[in-house]
Chain A
Protein backbone atom coordinates (compact mmCIF):
# COMPACT_ATOMS: atom_id res chain seq x y z
CA UNK A 1 0.00 0.00 0.00
CA UNK A 2 3.00 2.22 -0.64
CA UNK A 3 1.55 5.04 -2.73
CA UNK A 4 -1.81 5.31 -1.08
CA UNK A 5 -3.15 8.74 -0.30
CA UNK A 6 -6.10 9.67 1.86
CA UNK A 7 -8.66 11.56 -0.19
CA UNK A 8 -12.30 12.54 -0.10
CA UNK A 9 -14.56 10.59 -2.46
CA UNK A 10 -15.58 13.54 -4.60
CA UNK A 11 -11.93 14.58 -5.01
CA UNK A 12 -10.98 11.04 -6.01
CA UNK A 13 -13.34 11.42 -8.98
CA UNK A 14 -11.39 14.46 -10.12
CA UNK A 15 -7.88 13.12 -9.59
CA UNK A 16 -8.69 9.79 -11.24
CA UNK A 17 -10.06 11.65 -14.29
CA UNK A 18 -6.88 13.72 -14.56
CA UNK A 19 -4.79 10.55 -14.28
CA UNK A 20 -6.97 8.95 -16.99
CA UNK A 21 -6.02 11.73 -19.39
CA UNK A 22 -9.05 13.96 -18.96
CA UNK A 23 -8.21 17.64 -19.29
CA UNK A 24 -11.68 19.10 -19.65
CA UNK A 25 -14.31 19.36 -16.95
CA UNK A 26 -17.61 21.21 -17.13
CA UNK A 27 -20.07 21.21 -14.29
CA UNK A 28 -22.35 23.05 -11.94
CA UNK A 29 -22.12 22.75 -8.14
CA UNK A 30 -24.54 20.65 -6.14
CA UNK A 31 -24.19 18.90 -2.77
CA UNK A 32 -22.92 16.21 -2.02
CA UNK A 33 -20.28 16.40 -4.74
CA UNK A 34 -19.11 20.04 -4.59
CA UNK A 35 -15.57 18.97 -3.77
CA UNK A 36 -15.30 17.47 -7.28
CA UNK A 37 -15.71 20.75 -9.26
CA UNK A 38 -13.72 22.59 -6.57
CA UNK A 39 -10.90 20.10 -6.99
CA UNK A 40 -10.97 20.31 -10.78
CA UNK A 41 -10.98 24.12 -10.68
CA UNK A 42 -7.68 23.94 -8.82
CA UNK A 43 -6.19 20.85 -10.47
CA UNK A 44 -6.89 21.24 -14.20
CA UNK A 45 -4.93 24.50 -14.71
CA UNK A 46 -1.87 22.67 -13.28
CA UNK A 47 -1.98 20.22 -16.20
CA UNK A 48 -2.96 22.72 -18.93
CA UNK A 49 -6.55 21.63 -18.71
CA UNK A 50 -9.72 23.70 -18.64
CA UNK A 51 -12.35 23.94 -15.96
CA UNK A 52 -15.57 25.77 -16.69
CA UNK A 53 -18.32 26.31 -14.16
CA UNK A 54 -21.26 26.21 -16.54
CA UNK A 55 -24.32 28.40 -16.05
CA UNK A 56 -26.44 25.29 -15.56
CA UNK A 57 -26.32 21.51 -15.86
CA UNK A 58 -27.98 21.79 -19.28
CA UNK A 59 -25.10 23.95 -20.46
CA UNK A 60 -22.53 21.63 -18.85
CA UNK A 61 -23.70 18.49 -20.67
CA UNK A 62 -23.75 20.33 -24.00
CA UNK A 63 -20.19 21.51 -23.36
CA UNK A 64 -19.34 17.83 -22.90
CA UNK A 65 -21.01 17.12 -26.24
CA UNK A 66 -18.83 19.72 -27.95
CA UNK A 67 -15.57 18.70 -26.30
CA UNK A 68 -16.17 15.03 -27.01
CA UNK A 69 -17.08 15.78 -30.64
CA UNK A 70 -13.67 17.46 -30.92
CA UNK A 71 -12.04 14.22 -29.75
CA UNK A 72 -11.22 15.01 -26.11
CA UNK A 73 -11.72 13.02 -22.94
CA UNK A 74 -14.24 15.01 -20.93
CA UNK A 75 -16.16 14.56 -17.69
CA UNK A 76 -18.87 16.12 -15.58
CA UNK A 77 -20.07 15.31 -12.09
CA UNK A 78 -23.36 16.18 -10.48
CA UNK A 79 -26.01 14.84 -8.14
CA UNK A 80 -29.52 13.59 -8.82
CA UNK A 81 -31.46 16.83 -9.60
CA UNK A 82 -28.56 18.08 -11.73
CA UNK A 83 -28.33 14.77 -13.58
CA UNK A 84 -32.04 14.99 -14.42
CA UNK A 85 -31.37 18.34 -16.09
CA UNK A 86 -28.62 16.73 -18.18
CA UNK A 87 -30.73 13.89 -19.56
CA UNK A 88 -31.60 15.57 -22.86
CA UNK A 89 -27.91 16.06 -23.54
CA UNK A 90 -27.10 12.46 -22.62
CA UNK A 91 -29.63 11.26 -25.19
CA UNK A 92 -27.98 13.53 -27.79
CA UNK A 93 -24.55 12.14 -26.91
CA UNK A 94 -25.92 8.60 -27.26
CA UNK A 95 -27.45 9.46 -30.62
CA UNK A 96 -24.31 11.18 -31.89
CA UNK A 97 -22.13 8.32 -30.54
CA UNK A 98 -20.08 10.55 -28.28
CA UNK A 99 -17.89 9.18 -25.49
CA UNK A 100 -18.49 11.20 -22.32
CA UNK A 101 -18.14 10.34 -18.65
CA UNK A 102 -20.86 11.48 -16.26
CA UNK A 103 -20.76 10.91 -12.51
CA UNK A 104 -23.96 10.89 -10.50
CA UNK A 105 -23.31 11.21 -6.76
CA UNK A 106 -26.88 10.20 -5.94
CA UNK A 107 -28.88 11.97 -3.24
CA UNK A 108 -32.40 11.46 -1.91
CA UNK A 109 -35.29 12.47 -4.16
CA UNK A 110 -37.71 13.00 -5.80
CA UNK A 111 -37.50 16.68 -6.65
CA UNK A 112 -34.78 18.59 -4.87
CA UNK A 113 -35.04 15.94 -2.18
CA UNK A 114 -32.23 16.01 0.36
CA UNK A 115 -28.48 15.61 0.54
CA UNK A 116 -28.28 12.13 2.06
CA UNK A 117 -26.99 9.09 0.12
CA UNK A 118 -29.48 7.36 -2.18
CA UNK A 119 -29.70 4.81 -4.99
CA UNK A 120 -33.02 5.97 -6.35
CA UNK A 121 -31.63 6.95 -9.79
CA UNK A 122 -31.04 3.33 -10.87
CA UNK A 123 -33.96 3.38 -13.31
CA UNK A 124 -32.87 6.71 -14.76
CA UNK A 125 -29.33 5.48 -15.37
CA UNK A 126 -30.00 1.96 -16.62
CA UNK A 127 -33.36 2.24 -18.34
CA UNK A 128 -32.91 5.44 -20.29
CA UNK A 129 -33.48 8.72 -18.51
CA UNK A 130 -33.54 10.62 -21.76
CA UNK A 131 -35.63 9.87 -24.83
CA UNK A 132 -35.03 7.29 -27.54
CA UNK A 133 -33.79 3.71 -27.75
CA UNK A 134 -30.43 4.08 -26.08
CA UNK A 135 -28.34 2.61 -23.29
CA UNK A 136 -25.46 3.99 -21.33
CA UNK A 137 -22.87 1.88 -19.56
CA UNK A 138 -23.45 2.27 -15.82
CA UNK A 139 -20.71 1.50 -13.30
CA UNK A 140 -21.25 1.28 -9.54
CA UNK A 141 -18.22 1.56 -7.21
CA UNK A 142 -18.41 0.25 -3.64
CA UNK A 143 -15.36 1.99 -2.15
CA UNK A 144 -13.02 4.81 -3.09
CA UNK A 145 -10.31 2.60 -4.60
CA UNK A 146 -12.89 1.16 -6.95
CA UNK A 147 -14.28 4.64 -7.57
CA UNK A 148 -10.83 5.63 -8.83
CA UNK A 149 -10.36 2.44 -10.88
CA UNK A 150 -13.79 2.71 -12.49
CA UNK A 151 -13.09 6.27 -13.69
CA UNK A 152 -10.21 4.86 -15.79
CA UNK A 153 -12.48 2.05 -16.96
CA UNK A 154 -15.27 4.52 -17.79
CA UNK A 155 -13.06 6.57 -20.11
CA UNK A 156 -11.74 3.43 -21.81
CA UNK A 157 -15.22 1.98 -22.36
CA UNK A 158 -16.58 5.33 -23.55
CA UNK A 159 -13.83 5.61 -26.17
CA UNK A 160 -14.01 1.95 -27.16
CA UNK A 161 -17.75 1.97 -27.89
CA UNK A 162 -18.31 5.71 -28.49
CA UNK A 163 -20.95 5.74 -25.78
CA UNK A 164 -21.75 7.82 -22.68
CA UNK A 165 -20.67 6.09 -19.47
CA UNK A 166 -22.15 6.90 -16.09
CA UNK A 167 -20.56 6.27 -12.71
CA UNK A 168 -23.38 5.73 -10.26
CA UNK A 169 -21.91 6.84 -6.94
CA UNK A 170 -23.79 8.12 -3.89
CA UNK A 171 -23.64 10.75 -1.19
CA UNK A 172 -21.71 8.47 1.11
CA UNK A 173 -19.03 7.58 -1.45
CA UNK A 174 -18.81 11.28 -2.25
CA UNK A 175 -18.16 12.33 1.33
CA UNK A 176 -16.04 9.62 2.96
CA UNK A 177 -12.24 9.65 2.93
CA UNK A 178 -10.29 6.48 2.16
CA UNK A 179 -6.80 5.67 1.00
CA UNK A 180 -6.52 5.42 -2.77
CA UNK A 181 -3.75 4.33 -5.09
CA UNK A 182 -3.83 5.48 -8.71
CA UNK A 183 -2.63 2.60 -10.80
CA UNK A 184 -1.84 4.49 -13.96
CA UNK A 185 -1.15 7.93 -15.33
CA UNK A 186 -2.18 8.48 -18.92
CA UNK A 187 -1.04 11.47 -20.95
CA UNK A 188 -3.69 12.79 -23.36
CA UNK A 189 -1.15 12.81 -26.20
CA UNK A 190 -0.58 9.07 -25.76
CA UNK A 191 -4.23 8.23 -26.32
CA UNK A 192 -5.27 6.74 -29.66
CA UNK A 193 -6.34 9.41 -32.15
CA UNK A 194 -10.08 9.52 -32.75
CA UNK A 195 -10.42 9.40 -36.54
CA UNK A 196 -14.13 10.20 -36.35
CA UNK A 197 -13.68 13.43 -34.37
CA UNK A 198 -14.45 16.88 -35.78
CA UNK A 199 -10.95 18.32 -35.61
CA UNK A 200 -11.01 20.62 -38.66
CA UNK A 201 -11.39 20.02 -42.36
CA UNK A 202 -8.80 17.74 -43.88
CA UNK A 203 -9.11 17.42 -47.67
CA UNK A 204 -7.46 13.97 -47.52
CA UNK A 205 -10.43 12.41 -45.75
CA UNK A 206 -14.22 12.41 -45.75
CA UNK A 207 -15.95 15.11 -43.72
CA UNK A 208 -16.52 14.11 -40.09
CA UNK A 209 -20.03 15.04 -39.10
CA UNK A 210 -21.22 14.78 -35.50
CA UNK A 211 -24.99 14.88 -35.37
CA UNK A 212 -27.98 13.20 -33.77
CA UNK A 213 -30.57 14.37 -36.31
CA UNK A 214 -31.56 12.15 -39.23
CA UNK A 215 -34.84 12.91 -40.99
CA UNK A 216 -34.50 9.96 -43.33
CA UNK A 217 -36.62 7.24 -41.69
CA UNK A 218 -34.64 4.37 -43.16
CA UNK A 219 -31.35 6.05 -42.33
CA UNK A 220 -32.41 6.54 -38.70
CA UNK A 221 -33.61 2.95 -38.51
CA UNK A 222 -30.23 1.74 -39.78
CA UNK A 223 -28.51 3.98 -37.24
CA UNK A 224 -30.67 2.52 -34.46
CA UNK A 225 -29.88 -1.03 -35.55
CA UNK A 226 -26.18 -0.16 -35.47
CA UNK A 227 -26.52 1.17 -31.91
CA UNK A 228 -28.53 -1.89 -30.82
CA UNK A 229 -25.87 -4.22 -32.25
CA UNK A 230 -23.25 -2.35 -30.25
CA UNK A 231 -25.34 -2.60 -27.06
CA UNK A 232 -25.59 -6.36 -27.62
CA UNK A 233 -21.82 -6.58 -27.96
CA UNK A 234 -21.39 -4.61 -24.70
CA UNK A 235 -23.85 -6.94 -22.94
CA UNK A 236 -21.83 -9.91 -24.15
CA UNK A 237 -18.39 -8.65 -23.22
CA UNK A 238 -18.33 -5.95 -20.56
CA UNK A 239 -20.23 -7.36 -17.57
CA UNK A 240 -18.45 -6.92 -14.22
CA UNK A 241 -19.61 -8.51 -10.99
CA UNK A 242 -18.22 -9.60 -7.64
CA UNK A 243 -19.40 -12.69 -5.79
CA UNK A 244 -18.79 -12.99 -2.05
CA UNK A 245 -19.29 -16.29 -0.21
CA UNK A 246 -21.96 -17.49 -2.64
CA UNK A 247 -20.62 -21.06 -3.00
CA UNK A 248 -22.63 -22.63 -0.16
CA UNK A 249 -25.16 -19.82 0.30
CA UNK A 250 -28.77 -20.53 1.15
CA UNK A 251 -29.67 -16.84 0.86
CA UNK A 252 -28.06 -14.74 -1.87
CA UNK A 253 -28.07 -11.01 -1.20
CA UNK A 254 -27.95 -8.77 -4.27
CA UNK A 255 -26.71 -5.23 -3.62
CA UNK A 256 -24.43 -2.64 -5.22
CA UNK A 257 -22.38 0.38 -4.21
CA UNK A 258 -22.56 1.57 -0.60
CA UNK A 259 -25.35 -0.88 0.21
CA UNK A 260 -23.15 -3.80 -0.90
CA UNK A 261 -20.40 -2.97 1.57
CA UNK A 262 -22.92 -2.61 4.40
CA UNK A 263 -24.41 -5.96 3.30
CA UNK A 264 -20.94 -7.54 3.37
CA UNK A 265 -20.51 -6.58 7.03
CA UNK A 266 -24.02 -7.90 7.74
CA UNK A 267 -23.18 -11.18 5.97
CA UNK A 268 -19.99 -11.58 8.02
CA UNK A 269 -22.09 -11.06 11.16
CA UNK A 270 -24.69 -13.72 10.33
CA UNK A 271 -22.01 -16.12 9.02
CA UNK A 272 -20.53 -16.07 12.56
CA UNK A 273 -23.90 -17.39 13.73
CA UNK A 274 -23.68 -20.18 11.14
CA UNK A 275 -26.10 -18.72 8.60
CA UNK A 276 -25.02 -19.45 5.04
CA UNK A 277 -25.43 -16.17 3.20
CA UNK A 278 -23.57 -14.76 0.19
CA UNK A 279 -23.52 -11.63 -1.92
CA UNK A 280 -23.75 -10.91 -5.63
CA UNK A 281 -22.52 -7.37 -6.23
CA UNK A 282 -23.11 -5.99 -9.73
CA UNK A 283 -20.31 -3.59 -10.70
CA UNK A 284 -21.84 -2.91 -14.10
CA UNK A 285 -25.53 -2.09 -13.55
CA UNK A 286 -25.93 -1.97 -17.29
CA UNK A 287 -24.96 -4.39 -18.67
CA UNK A 288 -26.58 -6.20 -15.74
CA UNK A 289 -24.80 -9.39 -14.58
CA UNK A 290 -27.78 -11.62 -15.40
CA UNK A 291 -25.61 -14.74 -15.75
CA UNK A 292 -24.44 -14.49 -12.14
CA UNK A 293 -28.04 -14.36 -10.94
CA UNK A 294 -29.10 -17.19 -13.25
CA UNK A 295 -26.19 -19.36 -12.10
CA UNK A 296 -27.17 -18.81 -8.47
CA UNK A 297 -30.76 -19.64 -9.37
CA UNK A 298 -29.68 -23.03 -10.79
CA UNK A 299 -27.95 -24.00 -7.55
CA UNK A 300 -29.74 -26.45 -5.26
CA UNK A 301 -28.47 -24.74 -2.09
CA UNK A 302 -29.87 -21.31 -2.99
CA UNK A 303 -33.35 -20.98 -1.50
CA UNK A 304 -34.04 -17.27 -1.93
CA UNK A 305 -32.66 -13.91 -2.98
CA UNK A 306 -32.62 -10.74 -0.93
CA UNK A 307 -32.21 -7.39 -2.66
CA UNK A 308 -31.02 -4.43 -0.57
CA UNK A 309 -31.13 -0.93 -2.02
CA UNK A 310 -31.28 2.71 -0.97
CA UNK A 311 -34.52 2.99 -2.93
CA UNK A 312 -38.07 1.70 -2.94
CA UNK A 313 -36.97 -1.16 -5.20
CA UNK A 314 -35.42 -0.55 -8.61
CA UNK A 315 -32.60 -3.03 -9.25
CA UNK A 316 -34.92 -5.72 -7.88
CA UNK A 317 -36.75 -5.66 -11.23
CA UNK A 318 -33.59 -6.79 -13.05
CA UNK A 319 -33.10 -9.54 -10.46
CA UNK A 320 -36.74 -10.64 -10.83
CA UNK A 321 -36.33 -10.81 -14.62
CA UNK A 322 -33.50 -13.33 -14.16
CA UNK A 323 -35.21 -15.30 -11.40
CA UNK A 324 -38.46 -15.44 -13.38
CA UNK A 325 -40.55 -16.27 -10.30
CA UNK A 326 -38.74 -19.59 -9.78
CA UNK A 327 -37.50 -18.65 -6.31
CA UNK A 328 -38.54 -15.92 -3.83
CA UNK A 329 -36.95 -12.48 -4.26
CA UNK A 330 -37.19 -10.42 -1.06
CA UNK A 331 -36.61 -6.73 -0.82
CA UNK A 332 -35.58 -4.22 1.83
CA UNK A 333 -34.75 -0.59 1.14
CA UNK A 334 -34.21 2.65 3.01
CA UNK A 335 -35.44 5.88 1.48
CA UNK A 336 -34.88 9.61 1.47
CA UNK A 337 -31.16 9.59 2.20
CA UNK A 338 -31.20 7.19 5.14
CA UNK A 339 -28.70 4.34 5.23
CA UNK A 340 -29.29 1.01 6.99
CA UNK A 341 -26.82 -0.27 9.57
CA UNK A 342 -25.23 -3.73 9.22
CA UNK A 343 -27.32 -4.87 12.24
CA UNK A 344 -30.49 -3.79 10.47
CA UNK A 345 -29.63 -5.84 7.36
CA UNK A 346 -28.48 -8.79 9.45
CA UNK A 347 -31.87 -8.81 11.22
CA UNK A 348 -33.67 -8.79 7.85
CA UNK A 349 -31.63 -11.81 6.75
CA UNK A 350 -32.37 -13.69 10.00
CA UNK A 351 -36.11 -13.05 9.56
CA UNK A 352 -36.31 -15.07 6.34
CA UNK A 353 -33.50 -17.60 6.93
Chain B
Protein backbone atom coordinates (compact mmCIF):
# COMPACT_ATOMS: atom_id res chain seq x y z
CA UNK B 1 0.00 0.00 0.00
CA UNK B 2 1.19 3.48 -0.88
CA UNK B 3 -1.46 5.98 0.18
CA UNK B 4 -1.05 9.72 -0.27
CA UNK B 5 -3.53 12.53 0.39
CA UNK B 6 -3.48 16.30 0.17
CA UNK B 7 -6.20 17.98 2.26
CA UNK B 8 -6.73 21.67 1.72
CA UNK B 9 -9.05 24.44 2.85
CA UNK B 10 -9.05 27.66 4.83
CA UNK B 11 -8.12 27.99 8.47
CA UNK B 12 -10.69 26.50 10.81
CA UNK B 13 -12.03 23.91 8.37
CA UNK B 14 -10.05 21.20 10.08
CA UNK B 15 -7.99 20.05 7.12
CA UNK B 16 -4.97 19.41 9.36
CA UNK B 17 -7.14 17.14 11.51
CA UNK B 18 -8.04 15.01 8.46
CA UNK B 19 -4.37 14.25 7.82
CA UNK B 20 -3.49 13.86 11.50
CA UNK B 21 -6.34 11.43 12.21
CA UNK B 22 -5.24 9.28 9.27
CA UNK B 23 -1.65 9.33 10.53
CA UNK B 24 -2.71 8.41 14.08
CA UNK B 25 -4.77 5.55 12.65
CA UNK B 26 -1.81 4.39 10.57
CA UNK B 27 0.44 4.23 13.65
CA UNK B 28 -2.23 2.15 15.41
CA UNK B 29 -2.28 -0.25 12.48
CA UNK B 30 1.53 -0.52 12.51
CA UNK B 31 2.03 1.19 9.18
CA UNK B 32 4.57 3.82 8.24
CA UNK B 33 3.13 7.31 8.05
CA UNK B 34 4.14 10.90 7.51
CA UNK B 35 2.19 14.12 8.08
CA UNK B 36 3.38 17.38 6.57
CA UNK B 37 1.51 20.60 7.39
CA UNK B 38 1.87 23.71 5.27
CA UNK B 39 0.80 27.04 6.65
CA UNK B 40 3.28 29.85 6.04
CA UNK B 41 1.94 33.09 4.58
CA UNK B 42 -1.11 31.18 3.37
CA UNK B 43 -2.56 31.10 6.87
CA UNK B 44 -4.70 34.19 6.34
CA UNK B 45 -7.29 34.18 3.59
CA UNK B 46 -5.84 31.62 1.20
CA UNK B 47 -5.40 27.91 1.61
CA UNK B 48 -3.71 25.90 4.31
CA UNK B 49 -2.98 22.31 3.43
CA UNK B 50 -1.39 19.13 4.62
CA UNK B 51 -0.03 15.98 3.08
CA UNK B 52 -0.52 12.60 4.71
CA UNK B 53 1.23 9.45 3.56
CA UNK B 54 0.63 5.89 4.71
CA UNK B 55 2.68 2.92 3.53
CA UNK B 56 3.75 -0.62 4.37
CA UNK B 57 7.31 0.46 3.64
CA UNK B 58 9.50 3.21 4.99
CA UNK B 59 8.47 6.56 3.52
CA UNK B 60 11.00 8.30 1.31
CA UNK B 61 10.36 11.76 -0.01
CA UNK B 62 7.96 13.87 2.08
CA UNK B 63 7.34 16.15 -0.90
CA UNK B 64 5.37 15.46 -4.07
CA UNK B 65 4.38 17.69 -6.96
CA UNK B 66 1.31 15.58 -7.76
CA UNK B 67 -1.28 13.90 -5.57
CA UNK B 68 -3.06 10.55 -5.57
CA UNK B 69 -5.96 11.86 -3.48
CA UNK B 70 -7.11 15.35 -2.61
CA UNK B 71 -9.81 16.71 -0.35
CA UNK B 72 -10.62 20.32 -1.21
CA UNK B 73 -12.77 22.26 1.23
CA UNK B 74 -12.95 25.69 -0.46
CA UNK B 75 -12.71 27.21 -3.93
CA UNK B 76 -9.05 28.40 -3.79
CA UNK B 77 -8.06 24.83 -2.86
CA UNK B 78 -10.06 23.43 -5.77
CA UNK B 79 -8.31 25.80 -8.18
CA UNK B 80 -4.89 24.98 -6.75
CA UNK B 81 -5.05 21.21 -6.42
CA UNK B 82 -7.51 19.95 -9.08
CA UNK B 83 -4.75 20.09 -11.76
CA UNK B 84 -2.27 18.24 -9.51
CA UNK B 85 -4.19 14.94 -9.19
CA UNK B 86 -2.52 12.05 -10.99
CA UNK B 87 -4.36 10.04 -13.64
CA UNK B 88 -6.77 7.67 -11.94
CA UNK B 89 -6.58 9.62 -8.68
CA UNK B 90 -9.45 10.80 -6.51
CA UNK B 91 -10.68 14.35 -5.93
CA UNK B 92 -13.21 14.94 -3.13
CA UNK B 93 -14.93 18.29 -3.47
CA UNK B 94 -16.83 20.04 -0.68
CA UNK B 95 -19.75 20.97 -2.95
CA UNK B 96 -21.49 22.90 -0.16
CA UNK B 97 -18.92 25.68 -0.61
CA UNK B 98 -17.49 25.00 -4.09
CA UNK B 99 -19.63 25.61 -7.16
CA UNK B 100 -16.89 24.69 -9.66
CA UNK B 101 -17.04 21.36 -11.47
CA UNK B 102 -14.00 19.47 -12.71
CA UNK B 103 -13.69 18.97 -16.46
CA UNK B 104 -11.08 16.24 -16.07
CA UNK B 105 -12.07 12.82 -17.42
CA UNK B 106 -8.94 11.00 -16.21
CA UNK B 107 -9.66 11.31 -12.46
CA UNK B 108 -12.51 10.28 -10.17
CA UNK B 109 -14.36 13.27 -8.78
CA UNK B 110 -16.73 13.01 -5.81
CA UNK B 111 -18.95 15.93 -4.89
CA UNK B 112 -19.81 15.82 -1.19
CA UNK B 113 -21.88 18.65 0.34
CA UNK B 114 -19.86 18.31 3.52
CA UNK B 115 -21.14 21.36 5.41
CA UNK B 116 -24.78 20.41 4.81
CA UNK B 117 -24.21 16.81 5.85
CA UNK B 118 -22.28 17.91 8.95
CA UNK B 119 -25.14 20.21 9.94
CA UNK B 120 -27.50 17.28 9.69
CA UNK B 121 -25.10 15.20 11.79
CA UNK B 122 -25.19 17.82 14.52
CA UNK B 123 -22.73 20.61 13.74
CA UNK B 124 -21.20 22.34 10.70
CA UNK B 125 -17.65 22.09 12.04
CA UNK B 126 -17.66 18.33 11.50
CA UNK B 127 -17.51 18.91 7.70
CA UNK B 128 -13.92 17.69 7.72
CA UNK B 129 -14.98 14.40 9.33
CA UNK B 130 -17.68 13.99 6.66
CA UNK B 131 -14.94 14.23 4.02
CA UNK B 132 -12.80 11.79 5.97
CA UNK B 133 -15.72 9.34 6.01
CA UNK B 134 -16.16 9.69 2.24
CA UNK B 135 -12.44 9.11 1.72
CA UNK B 136 -12.53 5.92 3.80
CA UNK B 137 -15.17 4.50 1.46
CA UNK B 138 -13.10 5.33 -1.62
CA UNK B 139 -9.63 4.40 -0.33
CA UNK B 140 -8.90 1.46 1.91
CA UNK B 141 -6.31 3.36 3.96
CA UNK B 142 -7.44 2.41 7.47
CA UNK B 143 -10.09 0.31 9.16
CA UNK B 144 -13.30 2.19 9.91
CA UNK B 145 -13.08 1.14 13.57
CA UNK B 146 -9.53 2.47 13.87
CA UNK B 147 -10.65 5.87 12.62
CA UNK B 148 -13.50 5.81 15.16
CA UNK B 149 -10.97 5.04 17.88
CA UNK B 150 -8.68 7.93 16.99
CA UNK B 151 -11.65 10.31 16.66
CA UNK B 152 -12.75 9.27 20.13
CA UNK B 153 -9.27 9.93 21.52
CA UNK B 154 -9.07 13.33 19.85
CA UNK B 155 -12.43 14.55 21.14
CA UNK B 156 -12.54 12.77 24.50
CA UNK B 157 -11.94 16.01 26.42
CA UNK B 158 -14.91 17.63 24.65
CA UNK B 159 -17.38 15.05 25.87
CA UNK B 160 -19.55 12.27 24.51
CA UNK B 161 -21.88 14.65 22.61
CA UNK B 162 -19.05 15.89 20.41
CA UNK B 163 -17.83 12.34 19.84
CA UNK B 164 -21.33 11.28 18.79
CA UNK B 165 -21.66 14.17 16.32
CA UNK B 166 -18.32 13.21 14.75
CA UNK B 167 -19.24 9.53 14.60
CA UNK B 168 -22.49 10.47 12.82
CA UNK B 169 -20.60 12.80 10.46
CA UNK B 170 -18.12 10.03 9.66
CA UNK B 171 -20.90 7.54 8.91
CA UNK B 172 -22.93 9.97 6.81
CA UNK B 173 -19.83 10.92 4.86
CA UNK B 174 -19.02 7.24 4.34
CA UNK B 175 -22.52 6.59 3.01
CA UNK B 176 -22.55 9.69 0.80
CA UNK B 177 -20.31 8.28 -1.95
Contacts and interface: CB of A to CB of B under 8 A. Distances in A.
Q: Do A and B bind each other?
A: yes
A178 B33 contact: yes
Contacts of A339: 63
B20 interface: yes
Nearest to B40: A115
B64 A342 contact: yes
Interface residues of A, number: 26
Contacts of B59: 143, 178, 261
B36 interface: yes
A4 interface: yes
A261 B40 CA distance: 23
B34 A4 contact: no
Contact of A1 (B30, B36, B62): B30
A262 B23 contact: no
B61 A341 contact: yes
B33 A172 contact: no
B20 A177 contact: yes
B103 interface: no
A282 to B, nearest CB: 18
Contact of B62 (A116, A172, A266): A172
B63 A341 contact: yes
A179 B59 CA distance: 11
Interface of B: 20, 23-24, 26-27, 30, 32-37, 40, 58-65
18 contacts: A5-B27, A6-B24, A6-B35, A176-B34, A177-B34, A177-B36, A179-B27, A179-B32, A258-B62, A261-B59, A261-B61, A261-B62, A262-B60, A262-B61, A262-B63, A265-B61, A266-B61, A343-B65
Which 5 pairs show the lowest CB-CB distances between chains A and B?
Answer: A265-B60, A177-B35, A265-B61, A262-B61, A341-B65
